[in-house]
Amino acid sequence: MRNVRRWMCAAAVPVVVLAGGVGLTGTAAALPDTGSVILPAGTDEAVTFESGGTVFHGSLRTPDVPATGAALLLPGSGPTDRNGNQTGVAADTLLRTADALAARGVASLRFDKIGAGATGLGTYTPETIGDYGFTEQVDHAAAAAELLAVRTGVGTADILVLGHSEGALTTLALADRGIGGGFALLQPLPMRYLDLLTVQFTALADSGQLGPDADAVRADLPRAVESLRTSGTVPTDLHPVLAQLGLNAANAKFLSEADRLDPPELAQRLAVDTQVLLTCSDKDTQVSCDQVEPLRAALAHTDLRFEHFRTANHALEELGPLPSSPVDTVALFPVSAEFAAAIDGWAAARG
């Protein structure tokens, strides 16, 4: 499979078209104990739905108490599954969020994107995955919102939409289409996509992690960004390390389309008093609180709940006194106590 986006933590997925009904399969599953301070709550029902010839797989969480709302949960970049995990990368970010919401009576839907979990590549192949773009990702999320509305009776204009990392950009794009009545932007992509990648890749070079290729990566990076923004392609002679990091032909359409959207501009278009939860953390090494600040300012006209965490990593795991490191990416750490309190309080206010 292509070198899919892994740098920000999560991914995207095609979803359902509800014409003529949706194929659903129901299998109640016992929920795993993640070792989280957020306890398992509610019951997952396995659901399948079709879009563009692909069958997508997800989990519809039903609370144990009468439902007070419904939420669509969207992951970040790369082949991240419905729970917020990738192969070799444990986080359970969305699974734990579903637990917290269910405890407050909020039903939720999460699903495996293209390239993730039971959905796999769907109708795409390693040779055609470059045809998958950010616009399709938003289309599929909109279809997922329709499925959630059908199953819960909560209209798409009234559901909650929660996006983690790259998923926050998808969330804002859905809001721009009139989908969602409340939003959570969790450790969000806070600026144009290629601007953030430039910051992240430059940091890799400056830290010595790219070794002797660092100078070549710094030199080629502006050329790659300019090409993606002007033509939607990457130069054929781009340094191979940049291709390995994701700036390659397979990702070009997705990156070009995603980069056209500026999160603060989308945030400014939200209606006055829209209920929004925005988070950042001092120990998030992928998105800093300073980078989130312009997005926070753009949300000043909304009913904003801003949570500045101190000990959570990008995946909203608890680090306590530990620094963020590759270990907390691979291992499943307990959920952030700060996030647990924040999501519980926000969900309680939505009930």
Q: Is residue 283 part of a domain?
A: yes
Q: Is residue 61 part of a domain?
A: yes
Is the residue at 20 inside a domain? no
Give a yes or no: residue 23 inside a domain: no
One domain for residues 171 and 38: yes
Report CA torsion sign: 72, 75, 79, 80.
negative
Q: What is the domain extent for residue 291? A: 28-190+261-350
How far, in Å, CA of 71 to CA of 155, rounded? 11
Burial of 153: CB neighbours in 10 Å, binned 0-12, 13-18, 19+: exposed
Query: What pLDDT score was predicted for residue 273?
Result: 94
Q: What is the pLDDT of residue 22?
A: 28
Are 272 and 183 in a shared domain?
yes
Same domain, yes or no: 157 and 231 = no
Statement to judge: residues 206 and 297 lie in one domain:
no
**Last residue of one domain, picked from the residues 212, 242, 259:** 259
pLDDT value of position 50: 81
Read off the tokens for 342.
């924040």
- Between helices 166-176 and 134-152, what is the axis angle to 10°? 70
Domain boundary among 259, 286, 306: 259
The answer on 269 and 255 residing in a single domain is no
Query: Helix H segments across 104-181?
Result: 134-152, 166-176
pLDDT for 326 equals 82
Rounded CA separation 54/35 (Å): 34
User: Domains in the chain: how many in total?
Assistant: 2
Is residue 133 located within the same domain as residue 39? yes
Q: Examine residue 69 and state whether it is found in any structural domain, yes or no.
A: yes
Whether residues 225 and 114 share a domain: the answer is: no
Same domain, 202 and 339: no
Same domain, 117 and 221: no
- The pLDDT value recorded for residue 90 is 86
The CATH number that applies at residue 275 is 3.40.50.1820
One-letter amino acid of 260: R
Look at residue 17 and tell me if it is in a domain.
no
pLDDT tens digits for range 232-277: 999 999 999 999 999 999 999 999 999 999 999 999 999 999 999 9
In a shared domain, residues 171 and 271: yes
Which stretches of the chain drop beneath a pLDDT of 50?
A: 1-30
Give 220-287 as a DSSP string. Answer: HHHHHHHHHHHHS---TT--HHHHHTT-SHHHHHHHHHHHT--HHHHHHTSPTT-EEEEEEETT-SSS
Does the residue 19 lie in any domain?
no
Give the number of other Cβ atoms within 10 Å of residue 166's Cβ: 29
Strand ranges for 35-126 from DSSP E? 43-51, 54-62, 69-74, 106-111
**185 within some domain:** yes
For the segment 20-31, what is each residue's pLDDT rounded down to a tens digit? 222 233 334 445
Same domain for 90 and 186: yes
Residue 40 · residue 31 · CB < 8 Å? yes
How far is the CA of 21 from the CAs of 73, 139, 208, in angstroms?
22, 18, 53
Q: Which of 231, 259, 287 is the last residue of a domain?
A: 259
| Pair 62, 177 in one domain | yes
Nearest to 275 by CA among 156, 168, 141, 184: 184
